[in-house]
Amino acid sequence: MKKIYVREEWCLGCHLCEYYCANANLGGGNMAKALKGRPVHPRIRVEDDGKISFAVACRHCDEPLCRKGCIAGAISVADGVVCIDREKCVGCYTCILSCPYGAVLPAEDGHAVQKCELCIQTAGGSPACAEHCPNRAIVFEEGGASA
């Protein structure tokens, strides 16, 4: 299964992935229209200390602790993609407590959580972050052997 893998050595800390992610999850239209004048709530986050930077998004674990711990049964795995049912989610944050990567994040409204779902619903199944990374620091591929 293809997943998002990040390659720290090529991450420039430009944070563009966050904006492309946020925009894709708002429908993928005109970014200026969608994001102008509002804070973004991307599902991929760049960790950046000024020297080192890399993006972190859901790893779509084989043994997803978020799904197993979800008290609402709102997290499921479909074709290897760990997905959240926003309607069922009550925002208890047990998944935030469980995810070893810190890849599940509160949604904008705070009442539910959100995480990377590999753009299966949004950017036509081609994750916007990988698509637009200027330096291939985020790749969407099988296995993640390359680094």
Partner 1 sequence: MKHVIIGNSAAAIGCVEGIRRASRTDDIVLVAAEPHHTYSRPLISYLMAGKTDRTKIRYRPENFYRANGVQAKLGRRALGIDPAGKIVTLDGGETIAYDNVLVATGSDPLIFPAEGLDQVENVRTFTTLDDAEALLRSVTAETRVFVVGAGLIGLKCAEGLRAITEHITVCDLAPRVLSSILEDAPAAILRRHLEENGIVLKLGTSVSSFARAGAACTATLRTGETVPFDQLVYAAGVRPNTALVKDAGGDVNRGILVDTLCRTSLPDVYAAGDCTESPDACSGERKVMALLPNAYLQGETAGITMAGATAPTLPLLPMNAIGFFGLHLLCAGVYDGERTEHTDGQNYRSFYTRDNTLRGYILLGRVERAGIYTALIRGRTPLDALDFAALRDQPGLIAFAGPVRAEILRNQDNQRKREAAAP
Partner 2 sequence: MDLYVHPLFEVVRNEKKCVACRACERQCSNCVHAYNPDTGEMEADDSKCVNCHRCVSLCPTKALKIILTDHCFRPNANWPGENINEVYKQANSGGVLLSSMGTPKPHPVYFDRILLNASQVTNPPIDPLREPMETRVFLGKKSQKLERNAEGQLVDNLTPQIPLTMPLLFSAMSFGSISYNAHASLARAAAALGICYNTGEGGLHADFYPYGPHTIVQVASGRFGVHGDYLMAGAAVEIKMGQGAKPGIGGHLPGHKIAGDVARTRMIPPGSDAISPAPHHDIYSIEDLRQLVYSLKAATGNQKPIIVKIAAVHNVAAIASGVARSGADIIAIDGFRGGTGAAPTRIRDHVGIPIELALASVDARLREEGIRDDVSVIAGGSIRSSADWIKAIALGADACYIATGALLALGCHLCRQCHTGLCNWGIATQRPDLVKRLNPEIGAERLVNLVHAWQHELKEVMGGMGINSVEALRGNRLMLRGVAMTQEELDILGIKHAGV
| Residues at the contact surface with partner 1, assessed by CB under 8 A | 5-8, 47-49, 52, 54, 56, 59-63, 65, 68-69, 71-73, 87-88, 90-102, 104-106, 110-111, 144, 147
Number of residues that bind partner 2 (CB under 8 A): 24
Asked if 9 is part of the footprint of partner 2 (rule: CB under 8 A), the reply reads yes
> Hey, which residues does 77 pair with through a beta bridge?
82
* Whole-angstrom distance, CA of residue 105 vs CA of residue 114: 5
Closer to partner 1 by Cβ: residue 35 or 56: 56
Query: How many angstroms from the chain centroid is the CA of residue 54?
Result: 13
Give me the 11-50 binding string for partner 2, x by CB under 8 A, dash otherwise.
-xxxxx-xxx--x------xxx--xxx--x----------
The three-state secondary structure class of 70 is coil
Judge contact between 135 and 12, C-beta under 8 A.
yes
